[in-house]
Structure 1
Amino acid sequence: MAEKVKKRVAVLGPGAIGGFLVGALTKAGCEVTLVARPGTASQIAKNGLCLKTALLGDMVARPQVVENLESTFDVIGIATKANDLIPALSQIRAGIGEGTIIIPFLNGIEHIALLKKEFGKHVVVGMIGNIVAEKEREGCVVSSSTNVTIELGSESISQRALEEIADLFRPSGIVVSVEETEAKVIWHKLARLSVLAGITAASGKTLGELRKDSLWNSRLEECAREIAEVARKDGVEISADEILKQIETLPDSLTTSLARDVERADAGEVDAILGAVIRRADTYGIAHKTFDELFSLVRKRLES
């Protein structure tokens, strides 16, 4: 039997999620190319990518590091921040061939339409969940998460092709599922994420602190109701109770990357997550009073 040809895999963005993905693929035995900005690229090329993680262990990954792709790849994962996406696309354009599959692992929803407009049938919807990961410093990612998941979905790429991509990640310990629709992939994560990101960024509190506060608990419940209605209009049946039950399983210490950004006076993905939810709700004529309130509170924290 002929040996299975290894897929050529690249990851755009050496941040916390991009670094974690590179580590996972490396542990799974893949040869990975990391696409990074000039200064970061030279540093990681010299020192490797340090990972201190509960799931993958402690390791130094040594991907090939480039500033721009110059030949075609089978799979390209995108792990930039939403506000860095557009300028970063020029770094991967030459790597996209007829059979290339592009998987964005960004938070939010509006980036998908942008990428599909740019790259059409090549784009698969991907979400990484149950993960808290941070850059300890440039070129070093830390994560205490042990139950990391990836979901993939596409209406243009075959389930078999998606399963082949899933198999790239599975040996690392990440639980990967292939869903029937793109909307399911989006809302399985975004329904929970938008509530948590909004509440933690607006309050500056951990989940445990929020649980002890009746006002914030009420806001959390109202957000879950609003986002569940938006998801249902997008064709995904999820209830506010389901979202709240998912949140109940999370530790008191939990915060979000958006909350950490706001703490540093960095608007980060405020618009990509909260703004996008509000605009989606407007599209369907759904009330979003609580999300409006959170958005306003986040802006006040950033201004102060």
Structure 2
Amino acid sequence: MSAVTDEQDALTGLRVAVLGPGGVGGLLAALLARAGASVTCLASAGTAERLRTAGVRVESGHFGDFTTPVDAAERLTTPVDVVLVCVKATHLDDALERVPADVLGDALVVPLLNGVEHVGLLRRRYPEAGVVPATIRVESTRTEPGVVRHGSPFVTVDLVAVDGLGQRVRRLADALQQAGVTTRVGDDEQAALWGKLNFLAPLALLTTAAQATAGEVRESRREDLVAIVGEVAAVARAEGAPADEEQVVDFFDGVPAGMRSSMQRDAAAGRPIELDAIGGAVVRAATRHGVAVPVTARYVDELRERHPGS
């Protein structure tokens, strides 16, 4: 059987719920629905009504501009195969009220959130489900309910095939790949989660504190950049994840100069920022392992003072 046929079979009958159809969730919902999956978006009453009537509109130089119909509801009421959790960490607790554990059953739960601590939270909340550690790399923004602007020339998802879920995770990977999402399956949970945080934490903390682009902070705050990258890498290694700080700095130096972090955009718009999920998680893990992270902690404290409640 050809790979294409395998992927098409992966999409046939696949039932996906997307919790939080914003920039990331809306894009994935639209791509999967366009490719043939059965997609239900879980959102507020107003957003759900808009999606049911108008579908999801994607504006993308990579995928083209298109609109695709989706189903939508305020709460999950029927079984699905997969729930993609795409809300911000700041809204996770409230959003999970839309996904009752007794309806979810043993479905896959795939959190595409920033940070590392949400995986344990989801496993405690949904003990019967298959929680799949995952990360996504994409620049995508919801410009209004049901409208997503995708800016990056890529969408990359990393999934971790934890014990007993390998076949189901690979089916999901095939479905995402067929929908146009570059998808990789690994077997190292800490490597997947900390691999993203190694870059994201320095980017988010520096750009938000300076209210400047990646290009600006890698020049004006070079010493702090190198320090934070090294501190996060040390914590990652203590957590059992591989980390190469030189590689992270090189990657940082190679990103577009105008790149901004989602935390920075949220701060500029007056929205809650994911400081606790990103910087706070690093500091807490460092404390557990007795790893010194003075520069990271200084930035976290500074941003916490500027954004109370974050």
**Normalised by the size of structure 1, how large is the TM-score?**
0.93
For residue 184 of structure 1, report the CA deviation from its aligned partner: 1.6
Alpha-carbon displacement from aligned partner over 1:244-293 (angstroms, at most 9, x marks no partner): 12212210010011001111233321111111111111111111111112
Partner of 1:270: 275
Secondary structure, aligned partner of 1:212: helix
Partner of 1:51: 58
Q: How does 1:188-227 map to 2 (within 5 A)?
A: 188-213=195-220, 216-227=221-232
Contact 1:27 1:56 in 2 (8 A): no
Contact 1:202 1:295 in 2 (8 A): no
Q: Equivalents in 1 of 2:237, 2:52: separation in Å?
A: 46
Select which of 79, 86, 111 maps to 2:86. Answer: 79
Contact 1:132 1:256 in 2 (8 A): no
List structure 1 segments (4+ residues) > 3 angstroms apart after TM superposition. Answer: 299-303
Select which of 100, 103, 114 maps to 2:110. Answer: 103
Partner of 2:4: none
Q: 2:6 aligned with 1:6, yes or no? A: no
Give the number of aligned pairs: 298
Select which of 119, 135, 139 maps to 2:142. Answer: 135
Q: Equivalents in 1 of 2:34, 2:253: separation in Å?
A: 31
Contact 1:55 1:173 in 2 (8 A): no
Q: Which runs of 5+ in 2 are unaligned?
A: 2-7
Select which of 15, 19, 29 maps to 1:22. Answer: 29
Contact 2:218 2:253 in 1 (8 A): no
Q: Equivalents in 1 of 2:188, 2:242: separation in Å?
A: 12
**Normalised by the size of structure 2, how large is the TM-score?**
0.91
Partner of 1:252: 257
Contact 1:23 1:56 in 2 (8 A): no
Q: Which runs of 5+ in 1 are unaligned?
A: none
Q: Equivalents in 2 of 1:51, 1:143: separation in Å?
A: 7
Code of the residue aligned with 1:18 in structure 2: it is G
Code of the residue aligned with 1:52 in structure 2: it is E
Code of the residue aligned with 1:266 in structure 2: it is R
Q: 2:131 aligned with 1:123, yes or no? A: yes
RMSD over aligned Cα atoms: 1.8
Task: State the identity as a percent.
Answer: 31
Contact 1:24 1:172 in 2 (8 A): yes
Secondary structure, aligned partner of 2:134: strand
Q: Equivalents in 2 of 1:90, 1:25: separation in Å?
A: 24
Code of the residue aligned with 2:215 in structure 1: it is G
For residue 159 of structure 1, report the CA deviation from its aligned partner: 2.4
Alpha-carbon displacement from aligned partner over 1:201-221 (angstroms, at most 9, x marks no partner): 1110001212331xx111111
Contact 1:196 1:256 in 2 (8 A): yes
Contact 2:132 2:160 in 1 (8 A): yes
Contact 1:50 1:60 in 2 (8 A): yes
